A and B are shown apart, each in its own frame.
Chain A
């Protein structure tokens, strides 16, 4: 704190004295601002739409949303009809589909990523799997009708429905699992090999634990998509009026989307209320599935930090 230092004038700090190029562009409308606004609109619009749709369904559904609705069988009288067979059918269907699709899908992904030699055949298989993911679901329904219902002779059973849905999900599960496997850096596998691990042990102890959250998320998101599938189930002949809960794999069944479809297509407006209530139940199931996916991922990710 010498006298000379104190006597120095303070450095000019005001924006007015700065050359224009250095002045803060705070008051200028830039391309970035426009882009940001656009992105925000892109985010809000679908969200708003979703909220409006859900609120509309909920308002229509309210008179019918009660415990009886969940525990009653369908009826010719709209006020007495419920979704029990459809709800149980959907639950069984999802569980069975998962049991079929997960081992096959994850296994195929592991083979393609970890064991298959990259070559023309592998490339061909990859392209086909990607294409299969884009095939309309009704085509899978036709395949399921011919293969599972008729050739294999499962009939219009729960098992045939689950097998058809599993077929529909397989490309998605395979692709999601492969993506997850690819996120594991090659250096991790090398570290496993360098520590005397063979392919199997390295996969089991190093690679799979690292990509498990990704695989699980992919599986659950695929299931969440399958829960709303209607076309393939109608194609293979799932019933629209079921007055019983399925009791075996060979049992006839119905599912929530089919029940909703059935109610919507009736002329009486009372059944449309039932349809709205069914939609709310289906949405709640879907949200529950997605929430499970998020919860699982967070739980598993707490153990890793890279």
Chain B
């Protein structure tokens, strides 16, 4: 597996590219909810900030080429959960993780796994658009390749492909040398998505990517994500229940660091099994 072997560290070789676009589960793979094969899986995942627990044993499968939404009230551990999936949680001083996170069956917390290499395969987009202010739009897109010492041969193609995938190409193709922060908030967030896509990750984590955007920019990002799930496995944290219902194939409801309910979005929103889920999705708390 690439994140273990020095030769395959690139992340852009064909074997790692999201090639299997078939929705049908490959025989032998563990069955995953919502069809498709299981791309990631957490088992009894627990996380702490110093001594206060943030996650209390989460077991959750993530299906390939599906959008999985994580919903729940503030402080329920949604963000911590996705940050555990690319080992960003441990960047915070005093943070600790226990349990298992599998990517294609490989434990990413195994001592042989280098978190820096892992993060090329599991990309992340943050709540606040954070393009690098010292870089042009073009350099922002290429930043991931440079940061991870990837060759930037054919840079123009990489830039165009990533920006097209992020539905930003037509808006910025003539101003590629302008600063990344000269764009509007919604464009900046799509630039950050393009920046993550340029590395061709297998999984894309989005931590409330639209919460700082206006409704029109939000709609654009949502359409984009639905488009992108053909090629990537997407996990999105959101405060916005309508957003989860609109775009997510599967939804997980977190509450106080626990996974309360997980299932296809239409079921979870229309026929919640747990009274707490029902209370949350009907707006009685949160």
Contact A306 B133 (CB under 8 A): yes
Name the contact of B146 in the complex, choosing from A187, A188, A194, A205 (C-beta under 8 A). A205
Please list the residues of chain A having a beta carbon within 8 angstroms of any beta carbon in chain B. Answer: 117-118, 185, 187-188, 190-198, 201-202, 205-206, 209-210, 303-306
Interface membership of B17, Cβ < 8 A: no
- Nearest first, the 5 closest Cβ-Cβ pairs linking A and B are A197-B147, A196-B148, A195-B144, A196-B120, A194-B124
CB pair A191–B133 under 8 Å, yes or no, is no
> In the complex, which residues of chain B have a beta carbon less than 8 angstroms from the beta carbon of A191?
126, 130, 132, 192
Measured CA separation A118–B147 after assembly (Å): 26
Tell me whether B134 is interfacial, beta carbon within 8 Å. Answer: yes
Q: How far is the CA of A190 from the CA of B120 in the complex (A)?
A: 13
Q: Are A205 and B147 in contact (CB under 8 A)?
A: yes
Q: Chain A residues near B120: list those with CB within 8 A.
A: 195-196
Please state if B116 and A118 are interface contacts (CB–CB under 8 Å).
Answer: no
Q: Is the interface of A mostly helix, strand, loop or mixed?
A: helix
Q: B133 to A192, Cβ gap below 8 A?
A: no
Given A187-B130, A191-B132, A194-B86: A303 touches B179 (CB 8 Å cut-off) = yes
- Check B91 for interface membership: any CB of A closer than 8 A: yes
User: Chain A contacts of B133 at CB under 8 A?
Assistant: 210, 304-306
Query: What string of 1s and 0s marks CB contacts (under 8 Å) between B177-204 and chain A?
Result: 0010110000000001001100100000
Residues of chain B within 8 A (CB-CB) of A193 are 88, 91, 116, 119
Find A194's partner among B126, B128, B179 (CB 8 Å cutoff).
B126
Instruction: Contact check, A188 vs B119: say whether CB atoms are below 8 A apart.
Output: no
Contact indicator B147/A196 (Cβ below 8 Å): yes
Q: Is the CB of B134 within 8 A of A304?
A: yes
CB-nearest residue of chain B to A198: B116
- Bound-complex Cα distance A255 to B60 (A): 72
- Chain B 146-176, CB-CB to A under 8 Å as 1, else 0, gives 1111000000000000000000000000000
Assess whether B126 is in contact with A197, with CB atoms less than 8 Å apart: no
CA distance A192 to B134 in the complex (A): 13
Given the complex, which residues of A lie within 8 Å of B123, measured CB to CB? 194-195
Task: Write the B89-105 contact mask toward A (1 if CB under 8 angstroms, else 0).
Answer: 00101000000000000
Instruction: Report Cα–Cα, A303/B133, bound state, in Å.
Output: 8
B181 close to A306 (CB less than 8 A):
yes
Other A-B pairs beyond A210-B132, A210-B133, 11, CB < 8 Å: A117-B93, A190-B91, A190-B130, A194-B119, A195-B119, A195-B143, A195-B147, A195-B148, A196-B199, A304-B181, A305-B182
